[in-house]
Amino acid sequence: MSHFVKHGVPQKTSVKLALLIGVVWAALIGAIWFAYRNGSEPGGFLHFVARFHVLIVHLPIGLIFLALAMEFLGYFTAFSHLRPAQPFVLWLSFLSGIGATVVGYLLMELEDYSGRAMDMHLYFGLAVVVLTLAALFFSLKGKRFLSGLGTAAAAFATGATGHFGGAMVHEPSYLTQYAPEMLKPALLAGLGESEKPHGDGSGEAALEKPIAERLVYEDFVVPILDKTCNECHNENKTKGKLRLDTHELLLAGAKGSDFPTVVPGKADESELIARVLLPQDDDEFMPPQGDPLQPAEVELLKLWIAAGAKVETTVAELGDDPAIVSTVTEVAAIHAGKEAPVPAESQAAPVSLWDSLPAEERATRLADVNEAAEKYHFSVMPVSAEDERLRVNVINAAKDFGDEQLKLLEPVAGRVVWLDLARSQVTDAGMKTVRLMHDLERLHLENTAVTDSGVAELASLAKLEYINLYGAKVGNGIFATFAKLPKLKKAYVWQTAVDPAEAKAFEHSVNLEINTGVELAEPPPAPPAQEIKGKPEEKKPEVPKPAEKKPEAPKPAEPAKADAPKPAEKKPEAPKAEAPKPAAPNPANNPVDAPKPAAEAKPAEAKPAPAPAAKPAEPQPAAPKPEVPKTEAPKPAEPAKPTEQPKPAAPAPQPEKKEA
């Protein structure tokens, strides 16, 4: 230390040492570049050390400005005693500058920083070390003027380094926002302004436009990126070699990356969407700091990418689904700092994008669709003279009508309420267009290639009442979709893989009629009604077998009610004489013969017609019910067994013969 302060004569060893340290510093910077020239994996001890750059960088800043102050004051006699300490301060400035640049360069490589501000910060930082070494060299050589000039240049480089470093952390206009107009050009020298052809995106002019006419990229996507992404991915600070501040660079993606940032038409394959959907504790989650994107913002980015990720895409071109209007409205409220509105699904009347279109736009869309209908030979017409909603039928173009032709209906999707695609060439891909027809009530998909996956796309059709899937490639998987359609009343699934039993079980669980073309057996048989007629006879204590023949006996016995007084007991012999006749038809178990004796009984009773006057007293025991005398009249005909009069169950065979 005595070399630096006490002795005024410079030592050759000090000069050589300073130059040697300078060479080592340059070699160290080159080694870091060579080691990480092809990229690097973050983490590890070196990454831990590299992040101390923000702490170490302040040491050379203070020392260099101290050396400049001492150099200036040394010209005054009162401060001449500071001159001998000048080399010592420059040594400290040089060594601390080496430490700050090495750690900073290591941080830049490990965290993959780039951009205009980063480049300027790096170049001026390296210049600080070089100029400090020059000031030290001339100071040790005793060349005071050159030493002072070098110190002043090092101080200027230090200020520029801090300025460009601040432009990386903040916006380039951070320092110039409140600066005098005459100083702004100088302060912005070397910095670039992010290209913003859209203006502010959320200004009053944009908000005054009808929501259907707003540009998705300029009015919604750019504000999302500015708020959460462009702080680290702009012209001045390009982390991961990715810039998102212009449409062209957004589509170009990160240099050298195998994963495209945006794949037009394929949101699920876009790295932009994949990163924002990662868990927040994941190292690759974006944005790594600050508030994450709101679900509505993520959904709008997906819709925009799926629609082609074009600058000129309007909200109307995203589709007529009320959910899209709800998403856009919610994002607009977020950017305006207002409370997000209630989602459209919970509103009684969802917003109709068609109703928000100007009359000229509606007429243009209808004209385009009518032109396509004439070209491809399908019909588009109003439902009725009073109802301007549309009914589409492709029966005349079924052989050539496929998914591409179906897309031509998207401009008027919100007006279609009846769509007949029977025997056409549409597939599951075409159902992505059908699901945009949120007012659709009737849908015909007979003999198409639509499968369960295609039907699942229709789950958002809240007004669908009728669907015909005759001959389609569907199975039991459609039931999950049917359960989500609140107004579906009838579905035809003939000639499909749908299990009739499963369909019947599902049909009973919801208010829906599913016609499978198969009639399942129903249990309600007719016999129970006949058994009711025979129940009065079962009260009789007859043997079960005769009881089976007597259910039909009352039918012919009804005319016998008038003849009830005719069966007289005075002439029991007459019926006995007739007993041998029914002896032949003894097999009374035959139900066919049962009605025959009843028919013969009528003429048999007609013969003793003169005798009824002498037999009025007998019907008294059977008087309670007219039907009972029918059967009981012959039963008391056998006077030999008065003990069985209460219940003549035993003599039942003989009365049967008499009836016969």
- 507 and 387 in a common domain: yes
CA 498, CA 534: separation in Å to the nearest integer? 45
Q: Give the model confidence (pLDDT) of 337-361 as tens digits.
A: 655 444 444 333 344 567 667 788 8
In a domain, 594, yes or no: no
Give DSSP secondary structure letters for 259-320.
S-S--TT-GGG-HHHHHHTS-TTSTT-SSSSSPPPPHHHHHHHHHHHHTT--TT-BGGGG-S
- 426 and 315 in a common domain: no
- For residue 11, give its domain range: 2-187
pLDDT at 508: 82
Mean pLDDT, range 314-327, rounded to an integer:
78
Give DSSP secondary structure letters for 530-570.
HHHHHHHHHTS---HHHHHHTTTTHHHHGGGGTTTTSS-SS
Choose one of 354, 372, 390: the last residue of a domain: 354
Structural domains counted in the chain: 3
**pTM listed for this prediction:** 0.46
Q: Give the model confidence (pLDDT) of 219-266 as tens digits.
A: 899 888 888 887 777 776 777 778 787 888 888 877 767 778 888 888
Residue 651's nearest CA partner among 557, 554, 555, 572 is 572
Residue 652's nearest CA partner among 32, 638, 278, 363 is 638
Burial 211-234 (b: 16+ CB within 10 A, else e): bbebbbbbbbbbbbbbbbbbbbbb
- 42 and 124 in a common domain: yes
- 418 and 345 in a common domain: no
Least confident span in 16-30, 78-92, 461-475, 610-624: 610-624
- 37 and 17 in a common domain: yes
pLDDT at 256: 67
Look up residue 649 and give its two tokens. 């169950």
pLDDT at 199: 41
- 292 and 178 in a common domain: no
- 298 and 417 in a common domain: no
- 213 and 153 in a common domain: no
Amino acid at site 169: V
Q: Judging by DSSP bridges, how do beta strands 442-444 and 466-468 pair with one another?
A: parallel
In a domain, 149, yes or no: yes
CA 315, CA 171: separation in Å to the nearest integer? 30
- 267 and 126 in a common domain: no
In a domain, 626, yes or no: no
The answer to whether residue 98 scores a pLDDT higher than 90 is yes
In a domain, 406, yes or no: yes
In a domain, 69, yes or no: yes
Residue 479 Cα to chain centre, angstroms: 18
pLDDT at 352: 57
Q: Give the model confidence (pLDDT) of 303-320 as tens digits.
A: 999 888 898 888 878 876
- 211 and 132 in a common domain: no
- 372 and 343 in a common domain: no
Of 59-68, 266-275, 542-551, 576-585, the range with the highest mean pLDDT is: 59-68
Q: What percent of the chain has pLDDT over 70?
A: 69
Choose one of 129, 162, 187: the last residue of a domain: 187
In a domain, 552, yes or no: no
- 367 and 345 in a common domain: no
